[in-house]
A and B are shown apart, each in its own frame.
Chain A
Amino acid sequence: MTRVGTSVEVLREQAVRARRLVVDMAAQPTGCHLGGSLSVVDILVAAFDRAAEDDGTEVVLSKGHAAAALYAALHVSGRLAENPAPLYGLAGHHYTGHPSPAVPGVRFPTGSLGHGVPYAVGWALARRLSGGTGLGIAVTGDGELQEGLVWEACQVAAAQRLANLVVVVDRNGGQNDGLVADISPLPDLGARFAAFGFDVSEVDGHDIGAVRALLDGVGSRPHAVIAHTVKGKGVPPVEGKAGAHYVTIDAARAAKWKRMIR
């Protein structure tokens, strides 16, 4: 039975709450991967709403350095009861800078880039073998696509005709040391996935309703969703800035930035 979908307004409100939690995590003593967490929030909120249909869909955050966004999205979607923000990075708690299955709602350890795609591919195969519905959804970064393992897994997914696999690329254009375009550019990204045998969609990664709609159906081939996003989205002082990759701020600045998030 299909669940009555959450309205886009509700998802937007969840994304606002999640972004504020991410900023709170940047104000922890450790700081966090702020830019790439803020870029991926809308994608994760949409993906967890898709998973809430309870049909066996599994969401894997392959770009594990956006753990702050993952914890926040798990919390606002109701999958993680406690507020992770005050506990992020602290001894005695599992909210580390890259996620592990010790966190409720997290099935796979990610952060060493590339592994989340084959995990999702394996999940999609498991759903098909069991005769079940549901998707394997991998959320990757665009810098992450420089890892060979991503393409190895895409090759396998296409060969196995896993139509219930979705790879969502958070195309924020940044990576640790700068811009993807400067370090190892990805021209014709959609054509690359198409050449591997994927159906390809391009979408505004901050249009949460549009992203959510792309996760609805199962086509005839694996699906790559290239979600165009802005690093640091929602916090104007860091939006689009490569230097926003990892940020540590104080409580006063966090309060100011949270008020900007709408």
Chain B
Amino acid sequence: MSTVLSGRDAYRAELAELARHDPRLLCFEADLGGRKHPFAQEHPDRFFNLGIAEATMIDMAAALASAGYRPFVSTFAPFATLRAAESMKLSMGYMGAGVVVVAPYSGVSGAWFGTTHHCLEDLAVVQSFPGITIAAPHGEAETRAVIRAAAAGSGPVYVRTGRSAAAVSLPLDGEPPLVNWASSGSSDVCLVSVGEVGTELALEACARRPDLGHAHLCFVDHASLTAVASELRRSRYSRFVVVEEHRPAGGVASTLALLVPEVAVVGVNAGMTWPSEGGDHGEVLSGLGLDLAHVLAAV
């Protein structure tokens, strides 16, 4: 029986496989890679646990990219995008260094780990830096496709994943498309799903309401969303409901609302309160108003 991998495990497995044929690929962790990291086991000479030093890790990776390597660095989303925000801005944004940051624990996927381990701000932060591709893949296949594309590319990339939840991606043929039209429905309302939680909720909502359209987005940086906006504008829908595990400020809905002002864009998101309670991922999400009931109420 095959097992579906979580986003972060899919990343580790895919990168280890790609590195067999690409000596430029390096893998860095800041003490959150676990004891049995597949890249470390297969390519120990190109794996570096630098210790708890996130900003140093990203700056170092920028230098290695400058020297011709393709470094992947990974740490939890709150530490990558906020503790090391300046390194991302300078090294990846302004310098355009070809570093790939893979960030698990985005949103509130850390659940009972608590406030410091949540990150509902990463899209707002990273989207404000120029030139960084942002991917929020859903499921193993899409995550692997994003990692393959990032490994083959040369620019800076930020990839957000959850913690341990595993999902089956939407049907995918090669690279993730700009807009993956998952279902068309019959009404003029279309869900726009982002990331693991947003996409799972959209799928559940469409199962309850087959009249809803569903457009899944994988790439959500400003440049990608500008192109997405053109495709949404050409569609028949007049109301888009963006579902994302992020705050409303600086999220995908707020960007699309500016890019497609001629139609209604509303968001179902994690709101502006601080998650401070325990529980599993779904329970923390419900506490923030990001669940199926809120999605159905918004359409």
Contacts and interface: CB of A to CB of B under 8 A. Distances in A.
Contacts of A121: 56, 59-60, 63
Contacts of A100: 94
Contacts of A155: 51, 53
A140 to B, nearest CB: 14
Nearest to A114: B55
**Which of B46, B48, B56, B59: most chain A Cβ within 10 A?**
B56
Contact of A149 (B46, B56, B63): B56
Interface stretch (B2-10, B64-72, B147-155): B64-72
B15 interface: no
Contacts of A136: 63
A138 to B, nearest CB: 11
Q: State the majority secondary structure of interface residues on B.
A: helix
* Most A-side CB within 10 Å, residue of B48, B55, B60, B91: B60
A169 B87 CA distance: 22
A101 B53 CA distance: 24
B51 A115 contact: no
Main secondary structure of the interface of A (DSSP, over half): helix
Which are the 4 A-B pairs with shortest beta-carbon distances? A122-B63, A122-B60, A118-B59, A126-B67
B220 interface: no
Nearest to B93: A109
Interface in A103-157: 107-109, 112, 115, 118-123, 125-127, 129-130, 136, 149, 152-153, 155-156
B72 to A, nearest CB: 14
Contact of B56 (A58, A101, A108, A156): A156
Interface residues of B, number: 25
A251 interface: no
A127 B95 CA distance: 20
Nearest to A111: B90
A125 B60 contact: yes
A122 B64 contact: yes
A133 B95 CA distance: 25
B77 to A, nearest CB: 20
Given A112-B86, A118-B59, A125-B63, 17 more contacts: A101-B95, A108-B91, A109-B90, A115-B91, A121-B59, A122-B63, A125-B48, A126-B69, A130-B67, A149-B56, A153-B53, A153-B60, A156-B56, A156-B57, A159-B50, A159-B51, A160-B48
A85 B51 CA distance: 42
Given A108-B63, A119-B63, A123-B63, A152 B56 contact: yes
B59 A119 contact: yes
B16 interface: no
Contacts of B159: none
A122 B95 contact: no
A46 to B, nearest CB: 22
Contacts of B229: none
Given A108-B95, A156-B56, A119 B67 contact: no
B63 A126 contact: yes
A156 B60 contact: yes
A125 B71 CA distance: 12
A130 B55 CA distance: 23
B61 interface: yes
Contacts of B61: 122
Interface centre among B63, B64, B66, B68 (most CB of A within 10 A): B63
A82 B252 CA distance: 45
Given A118-B60, A119-B62, A122-B61, A127 B67 contact: yes
Nearest to A118: B59
13 contacts: A107-B66, A109-B90, A115-B91, A118-B59, A118-B60, A119-B60, A129-B64, A149-B55, A149-B59, A155-B51, A155-B53, A156-B51, A160-B48
